[in-house]
């Protein structure tokens, strides 16, 4: 039962007393009471006020919030998250497609359309799966690549990596279409497709095992971050980066560019630098990471480094 302020109670009692001492029985009526103790837009509506032959007064009332009548439905956090996932996926690959077609000088490039279509499809299907099974991971992945508590060195490096990735796709388009420097046979392009699919599989397995896979270097204390040692993490300490290298290599071959493979070496150097920044934070703030690093010595490439 909702509590009444003293002013409201007295006001209602006054209405009841007036009805009780009326010369004739009070018919069922409806009126509105507004008190200074109410919130803006709030009122009490008298639904029924009766007096029986014995003089007993029956009073029924209802709280009405006029603001609620005009209040628009609010989307749930899950719906907002899914909408952000769709928008960010389309924006990311839309920008990538723009870079490819502008550098190529034409939109008549079947390989690029195939690449973009399947990556959008994989991203949306995988993202929706994680939105259902691990929404906290999706919220973390949808966060901006530059954040407040992120180390300054990582902010600079992330910016350089993003530019390097887009630069790699510009190089692939210039090589494969605009200038035709490379001649990649179809069977090699098919191998590129397989490498691309392998990179997608590694990325999915990594995210499924590691709910703390954030786009920035940080320790997620509020979520109780722990060391992940299962799945791809049994072989290398940074499987997501290994998948990223395969992604660039596979995309380069699929799009028909030998020169695009040079971007794999550039990206490997940049990711190697970021691994040093990330592991400094992990060793300092994540209990058990030193022991894990001893058990899994390879950071990026199994049996190599």
Lowest mean pLDDT among 56-60, 107-111, 261-265: 56-60
Query: How is the chain split into domains, by residue range?
Result: 6-69, 79-295
Q: What is the pLDDT of residues 241-282, one digit of tens each?
A: 999 999 999 999 999 999 999 999 999 999 999 999 999 999
Confidence class of residue 302 from pLDDT cuts 50, 70 and 90? confident
Q: Is there a contact between 24 and 13 (Cβ–Cβ < 8 Å)?
A: no
Lowest mean pLDDT among 8-12, 210-214, 225-229: 8-12
Within 8 A by CB and 6+ apart from 229, the residues are 292, 295, 296
59 bridge partner residues: 49
CATH number of 79-295: 1.10.10.410, 2.60.40.10, 1.20.120.1630, 1.10.1060.10? 1.20.120.1630
Mean pLDDT to the nearest integer, 3-20: 51
Mean pLDDT to the nearest integer, 276-290: 92
Residue 173: how many CB atoms within 10 A of its CB? 25
Q: Which residue has the higher pLDDT, 175 or 145?
A: 175
What does the chain look like in DSSP terms, one character per residue?
-PPPPHHHHHHHHHHHHHHHTSSSPPPP--EEE--TTSPTTEEEEEEEEEE-TT--EEEEEEEEEHHHHSPPPPPPHHHHHHHHHHHHHHHHHHHHHHHHHHHHT-S--HHHHHHHHHHHHHHHHHHHHHHHH-HHHHHHHTS-SS-TTS-HHHHHHHHHHHHHHHHHHHHHHIIIIIS------HHHHHHHHHHHHHHHHHHHHHHHH-TT--SSS---GGGT-----SGGGGT-S-HHHHHHHHHHHHHHHHTT-SGGGHHHHHHHHHHHHHHHHHHHHHHHHSTTHHHHHHH---SSSTTT-
Confidence class of residue 52 from pLDDT cuts 50, 70 and 90? low
Full-model pTM: 0.75
């Amino acid at each position: 039962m909702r509590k009444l302020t003293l002013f409201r109670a007295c006001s209602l009692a006054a209405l009841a007393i007036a009805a009780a001492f009326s010369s004739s029985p009070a018919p069922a009526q409806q009126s509105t009471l507004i008190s200074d103790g109410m919130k803006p837009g709030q009122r009490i509506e008298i639904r029924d006020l009766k007096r029986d032959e014995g003089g007993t007064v029956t009073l029924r009332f209802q709280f009405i919030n006029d603001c609620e009548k005009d209040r628009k439905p609010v989307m749930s956090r899950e719906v907002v998250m899914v909408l952000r996932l769709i928008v960010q996926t389309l924006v990311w690959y839309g920008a990538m497609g723009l870079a490819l077609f502008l550098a190529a000088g034409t939109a008549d490039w079947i390989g690029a359309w195939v690449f973009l279509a399947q990556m959008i499809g994989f991203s949306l299907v995988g993202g929706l799966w994680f939105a259902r099974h691990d929404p906290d991971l999706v919220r973390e992945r949808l966060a901006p690549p530059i954040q407040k508590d992120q180390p300054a060195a990582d902010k600079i490096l992330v910016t350089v990596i993003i530019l390097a990735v887009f630069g790699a796709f510009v190089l692939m388009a210039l090589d494969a279409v605009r200038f035709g420097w490379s001649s990649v046979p179809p069977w090699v392009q098919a191998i590129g497709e397989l490498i691309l699919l392998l990179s997608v599989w590694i990325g999915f397995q990594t995210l499924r095992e590691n709910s703390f896979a954030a786009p920035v270097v940080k320790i997620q204390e509020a979520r109780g971050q722990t060391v992940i040692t299962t799945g791809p993490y049994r072989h290398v300490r940074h499987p997501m980066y290994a998948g990223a290298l395969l992604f660039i290599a596979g995309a380069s071959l699929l799009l028909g560019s030998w020169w695009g493979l040079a971007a794999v070496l550039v990206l490997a150097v940049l990711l190697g630098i970021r691994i040093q920044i990330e592991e400094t934070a992990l060793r300092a703030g994540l209990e058990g990471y030193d022991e894990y690093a001893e058990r899994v010595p390879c950071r990026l490439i199994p049996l190599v480094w």
